Structure formats: C-alpha cells, structure tokens
Structure 1
C-alpha cells in the first residue's frame, strides 16, 4: 500500500534543509580560516575552538530527542521546536561574527561562547526536524521520496551558502556575512515550520523507563549502529574536505575564485543525480545504493590530490565525483534512519524516535566537528603559519603538502573505512522482502 504525502508537505519539510545545510556548511568552511587567518589564532587552538562546541552537541542531542519525544504541544510533537530553536540559532550565528577582532584572546572567547550557543540551539532544531519523517509516513518508499526532496534542497543550500558566504565575507566583512547567513537560516526555519502545518502524524506512545534505559536500547540495535557509524565516519570525511576548501583555493590553486568554483563543481552534479539515486533505491535497495555512493566518495576524494600539483581542472572533476557520491550518501542514510526508528517503534510499541534521532544527530555533529579538528591537526603537523587579516604569508612546502593530504587522501581513507562499517546493516533486506511500500 502506498501512502504518499502531499507535495506541499514534502516541499515544506525539505525547506528545513536550508537551515541545516547552511549551518552545516558555513562554519565548517569559514570558521577555521577566520580564526587562523583573521584573528591570528594558532591552528591547534583554532581546531579546539571549532570542535568543542560541536562536541557538546554529542551530549545535548540525545537529551533534545528525549524532550521532543515527550512533547504534547497542540501544534505537533516536533514542529514547535523548529521555529523556537531555529530562530535562536539564526540570531546567535549573526552574533558569532559580530565580535571584536582584537585582542586575539577576547575575539577567540567571543567566537567560542557564541558558537556554543549556536550548537545548543541547533540541537533543539535539528533533532526534532530529523525525527519527523518517521512520524510523517509509515511507507518505506515514501521516506526515500521525502529524503530526495530534502537532499535537493540541501544541495542547493550548500551551493548558495558555500559559494556566496565567502564572497560576502571578502567584500563586506565577516560581520555582514554573519547577518547574511542568519537570514538564510531564518528563511529555512520559517519555511519548514509553515510548510509542515497540518501534516499527518503517526506517533506512538512515549517509551517508558529512564533516559539511560532508552539510550541502551537504541545502542543495542545492530542496524542502527551500522548505519550510524557509517554516517559518522563519512561526516568526518566530508567535514575534513570542507575545512580544506579555503586553504586549497588560497595556497594550492592560488585563486580566491576557486573557493566558489569548487562548490559549483561539488553541488552541480549532486543536484542532477539525486533523483537517480531515488530510482536506484526503488530497484536495488537503500543499502546497495549507499555502498555505491560511498564508492564515488572514495574515488573523488582520492582524486582531489591533484590540487597539490595545481591541476585546477582535474580538481574540479574530482569535486564533481565527490558531489555525486555525497548526494547518495545523504539520501540513503537519511531514509534508512526513519526505517530503523519506525521498525523499533512497531516492534516495541514505544516511541524512541527522538532518542534515535538525537543519537544520530549527535553522531553527525561529532563527525562534522571532527573534520575541521582533524584538518587543523594536519595543518599543525605541516607547520602551517597563521596570520592576521592584514598580513600575507607564504606557506612552507610542508604546509602545502599537509593541506593537499588533509583535503584528499585522509578523507578518502575515512570514506573507505565507512564501507566496512556499512556491512552490518541488514534491515533493508527484511523490509524489501516484506514489500513494505
């Protein structure tokens, strides 16, 4: 039996990816170079400042999921969190880049506190948002369609925010960029909140037992563990690539425009192939598609090493391969998560969907935070020289090599590791054999 959602709900839900995609992209792209090249913070300390607030979300996200599981708001179990937490995130993002630029210690402290606030607000937006598909529909194929819409919007958002935020920062300054990005986040928040009004819900009873009990039950689910670990390792790989874009453009390709072109090369193919990944899932299954998409990630990331030789065209081709893989590596796991959560709810009769998504988003956040942290360690090992905004330095060859390896070989190795982890996911076989469509 097919239970399609209204197109309005699909579009409305997908608009939330404007907020998640913007906040997931811009800090990973600009925050580390802002700290090292504008404020003058050492690469190692800058990596800690970028990582620590995101690591806090690892603790907070499951709590946010449990709180949303217990919500009885008349406007819906999850929707009220979207507008409250999302608009708070938008305001705090603008604040983060509106602080002093000197002395360096004060500027760094300002960023750290504001980023911690952003991470906290994001937890209470992202977790209920990601939990919604498991309650919007019970249909196996409809969840893939819902995620296809979401990933298309996500890819467009990455293109828009990733390509334009650096331009705004260069032309108007980081404070103006902060306001610009805050407006994008707010538009996505309000769009998802308004677009999902009146959407169907299929809630189950809130699970009994303590929060620790629920965490143990979620952690004991083998399918969830497999797809979560795969997704987290891939998030770290993607986060490492994102953290390296600005450094590659400036120090390897010697072109500020390369920052934008890399994003166009990355996102353009993703927009084209996302509907094809949905078709693949319909015929071959989600796990098979996820594995193939990961293969594209591995090959594309390894080929990014061409940036070290200054081969700009080949670097863009490699970025396009990464984009093809990235589209599938978003569609499939984000459709597999509600499958796992809904299967657990059906078998247990209890609602742990928020806990599942809280742990999931905690893992994703950790992975994306690890990316810049890993890249900062690679920069430190290579002897990268930090500077302030009005000083230009020439990086040593060791730093240039570190940038290239951190941008290519290291994330490719992480993506290859994730393929091994994916082998533990078995739920897809059972759901397809039952023809839950």
Structure 2
C-alpha cells in the first residue's frame, strides 16, 4: 500500500467534503448517546433487570466490540487495497444498524427479566457490530482526506459541532419520544426514529470516502491478523499509545457521566424534565465552542489546547460534587462549563489521530489507517463500556432498587449519593489522570507540516 492515500493533499478541503463527513456524526453521536443514556435505565426501570445484570449486558456487548474492532480495521485496509475505497463496509453498517437498534428496544411487555436481558444483549451485539463496520473506516478517513495539520483540525472540529448537535438531538429528543404511549411503546418509537436518522447520517458520510485505484495484487492484512497488526501499531508508535490512553480515560469519564445523567435527573434533581435541561446545558456550549477550539489550536497547537480543555472539564466535573449535599439548578452552570470543554476533548484528539497515522506512515512506509482506526474505536468503546459498567457497579453496591414499568419505588439515600458521586467525583478523577498520559504525547505542528521528524517525537 502506498505511504499516503490522501485525496486532497495539502489543499483546502471543500465545504461539501467537510459537511458530508461531519454528517456522519449524526450516526456516531446518536449511537453513542442513546444506548449510553437509556439502555441501563431501560433494563432496570422497564424490564425489571437487576442493576448488576444490566451492567453485565452492556459490558458483554462492548467486549464484543473491542474484540472485533481491530479485525474490522484490517478488513477496512483490505477493502481499500482491493476496491480502492473503504465505502463498502460503511454502507453495510449504515443499512444494518437501524434494524438491530430497533430490535434492541423491542422487548415485548411481560417477558421475564432474564429473557429480556438475553434479548437485549443479542440485539445490541448485532447493532454494535453494524456500528463498527461504519465507525472504524470512518475514523480512518481524515488521514486520507488531507495531510495538512490545520485542515484536519477544521474537518474534525466541524464534525464535533455536528456531533454535539446530535448528542443534543438524541439526548433531549430520545427521552421525549419514549413518553409516547406506555413505556414499551415509547422505547420502540424512540428506537425507530433514532435508528432511521442514525442510518441516514452514516450513508451520507459514506459518500465522502475517496475512490482510488485498487491494488488487486496486494495482499494487505489477513483478516485474522488484525490483532497482531493492532498490537504492532501500539508498540511502534509512542504518540498513538499516549493519545489512545488519554482518550480511553476520558471516554470512561464521559461514559460514566452520560450513563448517570438519567439517574441524576430522576433521583438527585427529582425531575424527569431535568434530563433535557442537562443535555441542553451540556451540548449548547459544546456547539458554540467547537470553532473556538479550532481557533485556539491554530494559535497554540492541538496538544496544548487539548490540555486546557481537559483541565476545564476536570474542574467543572469536580464542582458537581456539591450536588451530594445541595442539588439544584446551579448544576446546569457546571455542566455547561463541562460542555464547553467536552467539545475540545472530542475534536482535538480526533484531529491528532490522523497526524499520528501519517507520522507512522512516514516512518514505516505503509499507511495502516484502518488498523489504527480499529484500535482507536476499540479503546473508545472500552472506555464508554466501562463507564456504564462502573455506574452499574456503583448502583449495585449502594443498594439501588430496580423496578418494572408502572411500579413506584423509593431509593435509599446511599443509592442517591452513589449516583451523585458517579456524576462528579469519579469523572473528575479520571480526567485528571488523563493529563498524565497526555503529557507523553510529543508530536507537534512542525512534525506534520515540517520537513523532518525530530527524534524526540519517537521516544
């Protein structure tokens, strides 16, 4: 495979390419948001599944993701070699995901909790597999769309602006849709509408995948060797290890907050409507600050801007600890500050990943964007899955009482405190820890746009 498959070189990306690529975040944002927000709650408060079992269901599905993502990365690189594009996998994922997403929330009323849990885990595994078929090549595309440091930032900050809008759309709209009819009907309607929007976003984004010349004589990466290639990428690229470790910790922090938001609204703030307001407070600033982080990164570099975003998020999450003793509307201000920082924590590392990929290609003579994308997606999935699992563990330890639709329960004080801690203290600590791994990232603008690669970048 050639060392670079960039479709546009150093030239400015067209508005059409940037827009179509960003629309893919309707799919990625929707699938990341709704299951993380409502799946555990759906199982514990509608299907009657115990909190520990609900957490296990999500964890099993995400472990499956982690296992297949590196394999799909290798498959994506093979597709590029033999067809000249990564588009085929993206289209398959965009068509299949809405079907399995609908099935995830289609458990009929009256099904026993154990059977309901089995239903959800099978359907969600199939939905997650479909998502990976799209997500892995989607993550690989920026390295091939441009080899310019700032153009990649422009591409990814635009994507995160759409991602933030998608999170607001699904995070606020999903809970509204699930109020239609009884809880079982509501979740089904929510899944149908959301699945169609997710699939449409994915299919539109697939049109941006560059079409190049196939290499029918090239062998590429055997499907079974995706793990070996992924491990090799981690071993040889210190910047990749640092960036992935940072993003994994932050995915764990944000995944935990996302999973806890529904519980915070109901049991800490005592308002079902508070969930919508929390999302507006989080995502409104995220949309506004996406171009701000682009401007900041142009001035001081992506790496320093990423540090500032992480510090702001850490402080904002830490202030939410006060909710243990005094919950109230003031929490929206802290969430808004976290939202402004969240935009940078999403856009900047994703804009840095293509730099890592091209850096590796310059050193080793082969572009393995699919492999890097597969490992990256596996790491992100691990963080988000562990976030939901960590919340489920906290709920179980603190005595959270599950129920089925139509039954009213009173939660013990210990469970309410556990929810508040899971929304504040733990995410803040994880974000602070991620600053240590980020400090080991050495690539800078001159290493990407400049003529040479300094030795310290390889350490």
TM bucket normalised to smaller = over 0.9
Equivalent residue for 2:266?
A: 250
Change (3 A) 1:354 1:45: same
Tell me, yes or no, if structure 1 residue 366 matches structure 2 residue 382: yes
Aligned positions of 1:393-432 closer than 5 A: 393-428=409-444, 430-431=446-447
Output aligned runs, 1:235-314, within 5 Å: 235-314=251-330
Match of 1:348 in 2: 364
In 2, the alpha carbon distance for the partners of 1:404 and 1:397 equals 11
Distance 1:73 1:238 in 2: 36
TM-score, structure 2 as length reference: 0.90
Does the residue aligned with 1:383 lie in a helix, a strand or coil?
A: coil
Q: What is the deviation of 1:429?
A: 5.7
In structure 2, C-alpha distance between the alignment counterparts of 1:75 and 1:325, rounded to whole Å: 40
CA contact (8 A) 1:307 1:315 kept: yes
Structure 1 range deviating more: 155-164 or 178-187: 178-187
Instruction: Say which of 14, 31, 42 aligns to 1:6.
Output: 14
Pair 1:83 & 2:91 matched: yes
Q: Is contact 1:203-1:351 (8 Å) kept?
A: no
SS of the counterpart of 2:141?
helix
Q: Determine the structure 2 residue equivalent to 1:327.
A: 343
- Specify the SS of the correspondent of 2:180: helix
Equivalence for 1:179:
192
1:166 to 175, 185, 196: 175
**How big is the shift at 1:119?**
1.2
Counterpart of 2:134 in structure 1 is 125
Contact 2:157 2:291 in 1 (8 A): yes
Contact 1:136-1:201 at 8 Å conserved across structures: no
**What is the aligned residue count?**
434
Q: Within 5 Å, which residues of 2 pair with 1:106-121?
A: 106-121=115-130
Instruction: With the length of structure 1 as denominator, give the TM-score of the two structures.
Output: 0.95
Tell me if structure 2 keeps the 8 A contact 1:100–1:106. no
Change in CA separation of 1:94 and 1:4 when aligned onto 2, cut-off 3 Å:
same
Quote the RMSD (CA, aligned, Å). Answer: 2.0
Change in CA separation of 1:57 and 1:256 when aligned onto 2, cut-off 3 Å: same
Question: Is structure 2 residue 161 aligned with structure 1 residue 152?
Answer: yes
Once the 2 structures are TM-superposed, how far is the Cα of residue 83 of structure 1 from its aligned partner?
A: 1.5
Shift, 1:283, TM fit: 1.1
Please give the per-residue CA displacement for 1:309-329, whole angstroms capped at 9, x wherever unaligned. Answer: 453322101110110111000
How far, CA to CA, are the matches of 2:325 and 2:264 in structure 1?
Answer: 11
Superposed CA offset, 1:11-40 (max 9, x none): 001111000000000000000011111111
1:81/1:200 CA distance change after superposition, 3 Å: closer
For residues 401 and 417 of structure 2, the distance between their equivalents in structure 1, rounded to whole angstroms, comes to: 13
In structure 1, what is the equivalent of residue 456 of structure 2?
none
Contact conserved, 2:93 with 2:134, CA < 8 A, in 1?
yes
Counterpart contact for 2:84–2:211, Cα < 8 Å: no
Preserved CA contact (<8 Å) 1:206 1:352:
no
- How many angstroms apart in 1 are the aligned matches of 2:449 and 2:114? 59
- 1:296 CA drift (Å): 1.4
Change (3 A) 1:170 1:308: farther
Relative to 1, partners in 2 of residues 1:93 and 1:43: Cα closer, same or farther, differing over 3 Å?
Answer: same
Asked if 1:25 is matched to 2:41, the reply is no
Contact 2:283 2:339 in 1 (8 A): yes
Structure 1 residues 164-202: Cα deviation after superposition (integer angstroms, max 9, x where no partner): 1011112241111110111111221122124x16x4769
Q: Deviations over 1:222-248 (max 9, x none)?
A: 100000000000000000000111111
Asked if 1:56 corresponds to 2:71, the answer is: no
